[in-house]
Amino acid sequence: MGFIAAVNLALLGLLLAVPAVWGDFVTWQLGLYLLYGIAAQGVGLAWGRGGFLPLGNALFFGVAAYVSAMVLNATGGAFLPNLLAMLVCAALLAALAWGLAAAIFQGRTESGPYFSLITLALVLIVAQLAETAQPVTGGFNGYSGYDSIAGLDPYGNLYYLIVGLVVITSFCLMLLEKLPGGLILRGLVSQELRLQTLGFATHRVKAWAFALSAFITALAGGLYASHQGIVTPQATGFVLSSELLIWAAVGGRLHPLGPLVGAVVIGFLSAELRDTYLWWEVLIAFLFLIVVMMAPGGAVEMITRLARKLGWHAPKLTVAPNPAPPARAKAVNGPLTLRGVHVSAGGVHILEGLEFTCPARGFLCVIGPNGAGKTTMLKTITGAMPVERGEIRLGERDITNVPQYRALAHGIGRKMQIPTVFQDLTVDENLQLAALAGRTGPLDYFRVAPLGWQVPELGRLLDQPGVPLADLGPVAAGALPQGHRQMLELCLTLGATPHVVLLDEPTAGMSPEETGLMVRLIRDYQAQTGAFVLVIEHDMALVQSLDADVLVLHQGRRFAEGSFTEVRANPAVTEVYAGGHK
C-alpha cells in the first residue's frame, strides 16, 4: 500500500496547504474546480465503470444546487439541517437515476445511444424549466440572497468542507474498486452477456452505478450553492454536462482521481486563457476529441502506465481464502422439458415445435447438422432468445422466457459456443467472478471476504493435473489461447454449481489431450454433483466416449433419439449428415 498511499497523502497535503500558500482567491477557485471535479467523478464512474455515457449529469448537480439554496434560505444556513437536506436530496436524485437507468437498460445488453440522448434531453428540459419558473428559481437571473452552509466563507473555511467531500468520495470510489462491487462493474464493461449468464441483472448493476453517479454529483451541487451564493440555470445546463464529460475524459475516467485532476487543471488553465485567446474553447474541444480517439484512459491512465513501466505496481489486495456460501439457486425437482417450442428470427424459423424431455441427471448429447437449431435451443432455455410458442419447464417450474440473468437462479448454467470470458480481466478475477456468481447477497458486494470465496467443485477442477489456469492468475483472459479459454469458461459456467449444465461445443478448437481432459472434468463434475449435463458436439468420438443418450436435431425438430449405437445405426441420421435429400 505504501507508495500509492504516500502519493495520495501528498496530494491531500498539497490541497490543505493551498489557502496558506496561494491566498483567498486561488482557494476560492480551487474550491469551485474541486466541486466540478467531484461531479465529474460521478460521470467518470458511470462512464468508466458502468460503461454507459451520461450526457446530462448537470441535471443532478443543478437540481441539488437549487434545492440546497432554497433550504439554506429557509433555515438561515444552519449546519445540520442543511447537511441532512443535501443528503436527502442527493438520495432522492439517486433514486430517480436508478429508475431511469433500470427502465432504459432493461432487456438490452448494450449501452448505446438511447441512454445518452435521454439524459441529454432531460438536462435541456430541466434547464428550460429553471429559466421559465421565475417565481421559484429566480429565472434567468438566478436564485440568490441566502447564507452559505453554517455561514462558512467561500474564500475561507468552506474550502475545507469541500476538501472533506473530495476525500470522502475519492476514498469511497477507490475502495469500491477493490470490492466485489467494483469487480462486477469491470466485468460489466468487459463482457455484459457473460455477466448476465452469471446471474447478475446487468440493467440493475448499471442502475446502481448511475444512482451512485447521481448521488456524488448531487452532493457536489449541494455545496456549490453555498460556494457560489447564487444558482443560475447554467448549473443544470447542457454546457456543464459536456464539460463534466470532458474533464472526466481528459483527466481519466478509469481512475477515481482522474476526473478531479481533469477538472482542476482545465479549470485553472481556462481561467487564465479563456479571455485572452479566442480559440481556447476550440482547443479544449479538440483535446477532448484527441483523447477519445487516441488515449481513452486519459492523463491519469498514462501516468499509471508510466509508473508501471518504472516498476511501481499497485499492491494487490490479498484476501484470505474462505469457504463460499452455498449457491442460492432454487433446487431442481425434475427434468428439463421442452414442449412444442417455436422460435424464429428475421423471418427464418429456427425451432419448429421442438419437443423432448431430458433425463433428470446424467448426460445428454445433442448432435445435428449445422443450422439444426442446437445453439438456439440452448439460447431459448436460458432466455437469451424469446420463445414464440410452446413452453419450457424445469421440473414443475415454467421457465419459458425467463430473463437471461434469472436462468442461473433456476440452477441453469450455460457455456457458449464461442468461448466468452471477461477478456479485460485477469484469470484470477475471472475465477473470483465465477465464485461470486449465484452466491452473493446484497451486502456481499461491499465486503472483502467474498473475493476469497472458494467453491469446492471449482477448487477440485482447478487442482486436476493438466488444468493450466492455476499458474496463469495475473494473465489477462483475453491473452489466453483457445483451449485455455475453453477451460476458463467452463469454470465460469460451473462456479455457481448449477444443476443443469448446458455446454455448447466445449472442446471446439482443443487438442486431443485437452479434449480428453475436458471430458474428464465434465464427468467428474457430474459425478460429484449429480447434475444434468447437456453437451452439443460435432466430435463423434467424444459423443461416443460420453456413453450417453443422443438427441439428433434437424431443421428445428427432434429427428431421432437413442443410444449412440442406435443413432449411428439409423439410416435416416446418416442421410441427414451425409447430405441426402431433406
Interaction site with another protein (CB under 8 A): 51, 53, 55, 100, 103-104, 106-108, 110-114, 116-118, 120-122, 124-125, 128-129, 132, 238, 242, 245-246, 278-279, 281-282, 284-286, 288-289, 292-293, 347
Find the helix or strand (DSSP H, E) in which 453 lies.
Answer: strand 453-454
CB of 466 to another protein, least distance (A): 38
Neighbouring C-beta atoms of residue 346, cutoff 10 Å: 5
Contact yes or no for 476/430 (Cβ under 8 A): no
CA distance 573 to 372: 13
CA distance 209 to 186: 11
Q: Residue 53 or 64: which CB sits closer to another protein?
A: 53
CB of 250 to another protein, least distance (A): 11
Find the helix or strand (DSSP H, E) in which 356 lies.
Answer: strand 348-357
Q: Residue 10 or 282: which CB sits closer to another protein?
A: 282
CB of 54 to another protein, least distance (A): 12
Q: Residue 100 or 492: which CB sits closer to another protein?
A: 100
Q: Residue 389 or 558: which CB sits closer to another protein?
A: 389
CA distance 401 to 383: 5
Q: Residue 19 or 48: which CB sits closer to another protein?
A: 48
Contact yes or no for 241/53 (Cβ under 8 A): no
**Cell, residue 170:** 475519492
CB of 368 to another protein, least distance (A): 25
Which amino acid type is present at position 127? A
Contact yes or no for 326/312 (Cβ under 8 A): no
CA distance 255 to 49: 9
CB of 266 to another protein, least distance (A): 13
Q: Residue 84 or 269: which CB sits closer to another protein?
A: 269
Q: Residue 128 or 141: which CB sits closer to another protein?
A: 128
Q: Residue 26 or 118: which CB sits closer to another protein?
A: 118
Gyration radius of the chain's alpha carbons: 28
CB of 18 to another protein, least distance (A): 30
> Which residues touch 116 (CB under 8 Å, ≥6 apart)?
52, 53, 54, 55
> Which residues touch 302 (CB under 8 Å, ≥6 apart)?
252, 295
CA distance 49 to 130: 31
Phi, psi of 334 (to 5 degrees): 170, 180
CA distance 97 to 85: 18
CB of 206 to another protein, least distance (A): 13
The alpha carbon of residue 73 and the mean position of all alpha carbons in its chain are separated, in whole angstroms, by 40
Q: Residue 74 or 283: which CB sits closer to another protein?
A: 283
CB of 273 to another protein, least distance (A): 14
CA distance 325 to 348: 44
Contact yes or no for 452/321 (Cβ under 8 A): yes
CB of 258 to another protein, least distance (A): 16
Q: Which of 130, 113, 126 is nearest to 55 (CA)?
A: 113
CB of 184 to another protein, least distance (A): 19
Q: Residue 111 or 515: which CB sits closer to another protein?
A: 111
First to last CA, the chain: 67
